[in-house]
Amino acid sequence: MERAVTPTHLGSDESVDELDRRELLTGEAVGLDLRPAGFALRAAGAIIDFVALVLLYVALWLGLAFLATESGAEEAVFTIIAIASLVLCIVIIPVLVETLSRGKSLGKLAVGARIVRDDGGAIGFRHAAIRALVGVLEIYMTFGGLAAIVGLMSERSKRLGDLLAGTYAQYERVDRAEAPVFGVPAELASWASTADVARLPDALSRRIAQFLAHAGKFTPERRSAVAQGLATEAAVFVSPIPSVDPELLLAGITVVRRERESAALALEAERLHRLDAALRDRPHGFPERG
């Protein structure tokens, strides 16, 4: 989800402490609200993965052992099969699955999580390999005890493999936020009928809409300062300028622009509908060929 509470968009004196600690800033200074998966979800996903790998190991070992028995192999071959199957199931397969699925696995798919880099990007082979190799120690050799202790002490529920690889589990099942829809403020009803907002740049219009959607997350002083700054920028492109509160002016500009663009699109659709018959019909006298 994108948020507009960024230093570039809302003022250079924005304090980092005012931003949500889960927020990651992109190169365009847009805040991304990223939610790390909690300890319980990570534990549930790990248990699912563990059970799936154990079942896969048993099936793989039995299958290879059956083939070795049928071919009359020596007893040492069974030991090699057991070791190879174990390495395949606890290291090679997890690395391949996480690399090819960009951080997914059966357990993570079930709980709605994905392993990502600390900067929010997709993991690669190196990250998956480090996590799998360290997982042999902290998950399989300690029955998950070391991973649980480190995860409980970590802010993002990171296990030791995540700390070394620079990754964490991101929770992806986030409810889609519905943008608030409001009408023209009563104080601006008469102004809205004659206001000229057509020259307002699209970029500035988006910044205003983002501010209005997240204004409630600001402190009163910061909210007033940001609204005043955006209103000053918008005043150059809007005429006339009513004598109202800056945030109220921004709301009026947003609604007027939205309603006029909606009306223009509806008029365009109506005209295209009227022309539809003429555009689809055949010229006079043109034969119909089935």
Nearest to 177 by CA among 217, 220, 208: 217
C-beta neighbour count of 268 within 10 angstroms: 10
Nearest to 123 by CA among 156, 98, 105, 106: 98
The answer to whether residue 288 scores a pLDDT higher than 90 is no
Place of tokens 């939610």: 35
User: If you average pLDDT over residues 45-66, what whole number do you get?
Assistant: 90
What's residue 158's pLDDT? 92
The rounded mean pLDDT for the chain is 81
How sure is the predictor about 21, in pLDDT bands with cuts at 50, 70 and 90?
Answer: very low
Using DSSP, state whether 116 is helix, strand or coil. Answer: strand
Burial 31-57 (b: 16+ CB within 10 A, else e): beebbbbbbebbbbbbebbbebbeeeb
Nearest to 139 by CA among 154, 161, 156: 161
DSSP codes joined into one string, 159-192: -HHHHHHTEEEEE--PPPPPPP-----GGGHHHH
Per cent of the chain over pLDDT 90 is 30
What's residue 4's pLDDT? 39
User: If you average pLDDT over residues 189-201, what whole number do you get?
Assistant: 86
The answer to whether residue 20 scores a pLDDT higher than 60 is no
| Degrees, nearest 5: CA angle 190-191-196 | 140
The answer to whether residue 5 scores a pLDDT higher than 50 is no
What is the amino acid identity at position 43?
A
What's residue 172's pLDDT? 84
How sure is the predictor about 281, in pLDDT bands with cuts at 50, 70 and 90?
Answer: low
61-75, 128-142, 270-284: the lowest-pLDDT one? 270-284
Output helix, strand, coil percentages for the chain, rounded to the nearest 5. Answer: 60, 10, 30
How sure is the predictor about 272, in pLDDT bands with cuts at 50, 70 and 90?
Answer: confident
What's residue 19's pLDDT? 41
The answer to whether residue 119 scores a pLDDT higher than 70 is yes
User: If you average pLDDT over residues 103-111, what whole number do you get?
Assistant: 91
What's residue 121's pLDDT? 85
Six token digits for residue 33: 């609200």
10 Å CB burial of residue 154 (0-12, 13-18, 19+) is middle
How sure is the predictor about 286, in pLDDT bands with cuts at 50, 70 and 90?
Answer: low
Rounded Cα distance between 53 and 92, Å, is 11
pTM of the model: 0.53
How sure is the predictor about 210, in pLDDT bands with cuts at 50, 70 and 90?
Answer: confident
The H or E element spanning position 24 is strand 23-25
What's residue 290's pLDDT? 52
What's residue 18's pLDDT? 39
Place of tokens 């079930």: 110
| Degrees, nearest 5: CA angle 72-74-80 | 115
Nearest to 101 by CA among 87, 114, 92: 114
The answer to whether residue 225 scores a pLDDT higher than 80 is yes
What's residue 179's pLDDT? 56
Note whether 201 and 159 are within 8 A (CB).
no
Alpha helices in 71-178 (DSSP H): 75-87, 93-100, 106-111, 125-135, 145-153, 160-165
